[in-house]
Structure 1
């Protein structure tokens, strides 16, 4: 289905045309008509399938058709990286509509927090936020949410895994009763369904490729004891076809050691973890996207929501504790109908 068949306002269609959006992905084709009808929805789709546009396009269409003088949509996400990424996507899609957005997340200095408060006071249509920072703003200042029409939970499974359930319920208590609620998740365990029943009203359910890795991923398992892993990793990275690589480790200490060792070998590698200042994390991610950094080493925080095109290899330096974490990790490659390789080191 082509995007010009959804009946979006001309300003939104113009933005899509400039971004060269032509054919809708399966998740977009199935969810956009439902969202335009104003129904609550649970949608399960792999990362990299276009789910951000799936919910943002009908929301932007609704905003463009109505008054744009108030907060009309809140997008709740698990990580600051995903908040920034979605906000950037909204800026591109909404360029000709006049809709405004802001990313609200922690990790910056006091000025960042005050700038966020000022932007909210001055007026914004869409807030993309992490749970903790949004609660901080809701409790420290009066925010008019009486005109809110849309509330989206993106990467809902990640937020529940990270312990945000009570925070989400608290945020919902601030919202008007009449609103549309959308829940998007890469996996659909029972805890997600149970949670959805608490906050959604008769939701329509859409399932696209539930809880399985992309078919374009070449999955491999290498048997290696801990003392053998580094040498094996170095040999793997000698392959010039692996131009953009993410290595996952479960512990921050391992991430730091791996990044340092790879740098000693002359490999353009950077560690990505919560001990880094926010400005440093943003700089590393920008350089990784632009291919100035070849290898990004990180914990599961970068398996949830980071969308970088063209990652050719994912390495699990250790086995993730949960099968869903494995799906998220290897889902960084072979995104949007491309192909990639995922290698997992197993020592027993």
Structure 2
């Protein structure tokens, strides 16, 4: 497989794994993290006589599960080890095949958390003898909301096991998860949140309506072997693909809405150079290893700064070079500042070509000022709803709420009206009196009426 010498993450991680220590390893994408844990675990499996599933690898996406399974098949060509990828989106026979592999005790299971939980709910998943647990792309799994599923799966595993966690970034939530499931782990940090040095990064200041023309202009001047165009909106994938096709380029889109067979066929066609440009969302930004991607184009700026690193990390893999181009509209400029702060460098910002027209000026402070106000307003809304939800339980607020309802509604409860010692209640007169100043003698009667209705309710 043309592995001549270990990458830095492999050189650091393999001895730790062979010494049976728990590990939390962080390294930039494209540095060989998969081989860093697959090779030593295969070495362990080859010298053991397991009659059960010894290794569970959890990953965030179907594509990554399939890719790791393929890599294990290559690494284990001369090793008596079996593996299977377990993920959703397949036909019915795939479920039966996955069930058979689980119950027969495949040596290595690579699974997405949701699909594995579905099998566990059927009652035949037994991991009571599991030896090794691997969490690959752990930060992405947490971003996708898999924390409850991960904790549920871990609760079904033996306490005595070796746990390995690999991640491209190290946010606080990753350390929180590590404290829960790892025991005295060794930590390896190599180039955290840094793109590969071989990536030429550029950004263009452009309005959304100018993006198709700018894309066409750039593709005329660039020598593109293969390109991935990323967008944050799933609904935009097919639109961008059609724009590229009208320009005369061979392009296809891939989204989570497609069946797994369609997604695998699209990826295989891209790998085989059947088409030049792949349009995708961030499902393609993590762990997918495709050779010779010369260009990455961000049609919009990703919401999270870390996702920018993962997107452009699809190029310049294994010490090669590549180009990453990002389109910035007037609303995304604040995100650019966060990206530059994360990677600790300023990215060149270029203006549109003359035939396209000027784009927006780079004024990130102007747009960043409006965001905190929106956030604060959104934070206040739940508090108001929560406060209102609790108010009926508070005896002081309940009469007031009732009084407000009475003042708006012309109808009254006839049972309460029958209990009044004086003349029947007349809604119109009461409403008109409530709008103006109350006579001194009437205030007590109104309060009495409100209390009576509250007591009846």
Q: Would the TM-score normalized by the shorter structure come out above 0.5?
A: yes
SS of the counterpart of 2:121? helix
Aligned to 1:5: none
Q: Is 2:203 the partner of 1:221?
A: yes
| Residue pair 1:246, 1:295 contacting (<8 A) in 2 also | yes
| Residue pair 2:103, 2:124 contacting (<8 A) in 1 also | no
Aligned to 2:321: 339
Counterpart pick for 1:105 among 87, 99, 106: 87
RMSD (Å) for aligned C-alpha atoms: 1.0
Shift of 1:146: 2.6
Shift of 1:141: 3.1
Aligned to 2:352: none
Aligned to 1:26: 8
SS of the counterpart of 1:140? coil
Shift of 1:115: 1.5
Aligned to 1:186: 168
Aligned to 1:137: 119
SS of the counterpart of 1:29? helix
Long gaps (5+) in structure 1: 1-18
Structure 1 runs of 4+ aligned residues shifted over 3 Å read none
Counterpart pick for 1:271 among 253, 257, 280: 253
Scaled by the length of structure 1, the TM-score of the pair is 0.93
Shift of 1:240: 5.4
| Residue pair 2:128, 2:156 contacting (<8 A) in 1 also | no
Deviation sequence 1:250-273 (CA, Å, 0-9, x none) = 111111100111112221100110
Scaled by the length of structure 2, the TM-score of the pair is 0.71
Partners of 1:59 and 1:115 in 2: CA distance:
24
Partners of 1:334 and 1:222 in 2: CA distance:
21
Counterpart pick for 1:171 among 135, 139, 153: 153
- Corresponding residue pairs, total: 330
Counterpart pick for 2:177 among 195, 220, 244: 195
- Structure 1 segment 1-348 matched on structure 2, within 5 A: 19-239=1-221, 241-348=223-330
**Higher fraction of helix:** 2
Higher mean displacement: 121-130 or 71-80: 121-130
Partners of 1:178 and 1:74 in 2: CA distance:
14
SS of the counterpart of 1:237? helix
Structure of higher CA gyration radius: 2
